[in-house]
């Protein structure tokens, strides 16, 4: 998962401040995964999360991503000497603050939603929390 166009090819390393993010409000659906610590989420992690949720739902729900990896991380090749500029783009990532919603899930079955989100939490490399909000019915 990577963006189609960016202003710059290679960015500086993002600084993650451990401030609380106030974006923990559900907009699109009933269930969500929320980060509880600051971290970097990669495009590969997001693809793994989407795939596990799709496998458990089996076309009985909708997934809405709230984060997208816009930052590039570079890495020099193995065995290269110092100098000669910055390395090639290795992967794409997004800094995530505590309290920010990573994805939302809308489905009719509570059991399907909870099992899908529980399996998806294991694919992320940082601590997360599942939130249920019963007032929204957009399905």
CB 24 within 8 A of CB 131: yes
The yes-or-no verdict on residue 61 having pLDDT over 80 is yes
The pLDDT of 74-83, averaged and rounded, is 89
What is the per-residue pLDDT for 10?
Answer: 84
Helices (H), 33-129: 43-57, 110-121
The pLDDT of 115-138, averaged and rounded, is 85
Is the pTM value of this prediction over 0.85? no
Q: How confident is the prediction for the chain on average, in pLDDT?
A: 86
Q: What does the pLDDT look like over 17-32, one tens digit per residue?
A: 666 665 667 888 889 9
What is the per-residue pLDDT for 71?
Answer: 87
CA distances for 39 relative to 45, 51, 102, 110, angstroms: 12, 21, 12, 28
What is the per-residue pLDDT for 12?
Answer: 79
The pLDDT of 92-114, averaged and rounded, is 90
Interatomic CA distance for residues 91 and 86, integer angstroms: 14
DSSP state of 108: S
- Tokens of residue 16, six digits: 């993650």
Which domains can be identified in the chain, with CATH numbers?
33-74+86-132 (3.90.1170.10)
């Amino acid at each position: 998962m990577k963006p189609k166009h960016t202003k710059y090819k290679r960015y500086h390393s993002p600084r993650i401040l451990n401030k609380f993010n106030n974006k923990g409000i559900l907009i699109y659906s009933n269930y969500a995964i929320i980060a509880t610590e600051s971290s970097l989420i990669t495009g590969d992690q997001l693809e793994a999360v989407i795939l596990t949720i799709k496998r458990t739902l089996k076309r009985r729900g909708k997934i809405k991503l709230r984060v997208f990896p816009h930052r590039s991380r570079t890495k020099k090749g193995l065995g290269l000497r110092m100098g000669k500029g910055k390395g090639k783009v290795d992967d794409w990532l997004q800094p995530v603050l505590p309290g920010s919603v990573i994805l939302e899930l809308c489905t009719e079955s509570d059991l399907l939603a909870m099992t899908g989100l529980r399996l998806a939490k294991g694919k992320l490399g940082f601590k997360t929390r599942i939130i249920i909000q019963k007032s929204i019915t957009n399905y």
